[in-house]
Amino acid sequence: MTAPIALPTSRARRVLGRLGGPAVVILLTAVMGFLLVGQLRGTERFRRRLEAESEGDLTRILASLNTEADSLRDEVSALKLQLVRLETSSARDQASVDAADDELRALQVLAGSVAVSGPGIVLSVEDPRGAVGYDTLIDIVQELRDAGAEAIGVNDHRVGAASAFANRKGGVSLDGTPLAPPYRIAAIGPATTLEGGLKIPGGAVDVLESLPGVHVEVDRSAKVDLPPLDHPPAFRAARPISSPS
């Protein structure tokens, strides 16, 4: 191998600038010749040194170089394999994190602890005579859940997994909150399926329309917004304790 030829430094260039053109050419030629001679001498010394070695020594040198090259190739292969394992492990870990996040989000929506938006339907119930009881609202919510509703709300109040309807003077209550007609029952999920579930013969719509003075409308919506529960449940989870030393 030959050493790279050094170029003049900025200080040297300033000195050369003060010299005349021919002098600069002569000086640069001399410097280049000196460097080339030095490189040739170094190469020549290395060649002579190899020529001075015996055949056995040259064989050992070559074997050593081959061994070192093989070792470096093995190291490169091991590092590449390690990189692939790390990338695979990172991708697997990220996939697990994403799956856990999706599951957590689904459980939060089911529990009603977070606000949620999405396509769905809105069932509007006009009930001027107060003919709709809590049991009718329970049936509507149950039919929506059976049809695949992901989240349900009544009069802007979220219905959770542990929510309860009850009769109340002048209307119905949801989790202790009074609900006065008209009722607006919103559900997020596949709109076609949800509407079909409500309109099956003998289903919720037929029951509502059979009540005196009740008028029902079912509208599909590209975006239904539902708030979280007024009083989200508080969960208590067990934690492992460290074993006594």
Residues 222-231 have a mean pLDDT of: 88
Q: What's the predicted TM-score (pTM) here? A: 0.57
Residue 6, pLDDT > 50, answer no
Residue 5, pLDDT > 60, answer no
Is residue 182 reached through a cis peptide bond, with omega within 30 degrees of 0 on the bond before it?
A: yes
pLDDT at 7: 46
pLDDT top residue among 96 and 209: 209
Name, in order, each residue with C-beta under 8 angstroms of 23's C-beta and a sequence gap of 6 or more.
none
Question: 97-117, pLDDT tens digit by residue?
Answer: 777 777 777 777 777 778 899
Spatial distance between the Cα atoms of 103 and 92, rounded to a whole number of angstroms: 16
Least confident of 30-34, 75-79, 154-158: 30-34
Residues 5-10 have a mean pLDDT of: 48
Question: 176-208, pLDDT tens digit by residue?
Answer: 889 988 999 999 999 999 999 999 998 889 999
CATH of span 116-226: 3.30.70.1880
In the three-class reduction of DSSP (H, G, I as helix; E, B as strand; rest coil), residue 122 is classed as: strand
Q: 16-25, 68-77, 117-126: which has the highest mean pLDDT?
A: 117-126
Could you tell me the pLDDT band of residue 210, with boundaries at 50, 70 and 90? Answer: very high
Return the structure tokens found at 183. Answer: 């009722």
Tell me the Cα Rg of the chain.
Answer: 42
pLDDT at 137: 92
In the chain, domain spans: 10-52, 116-226
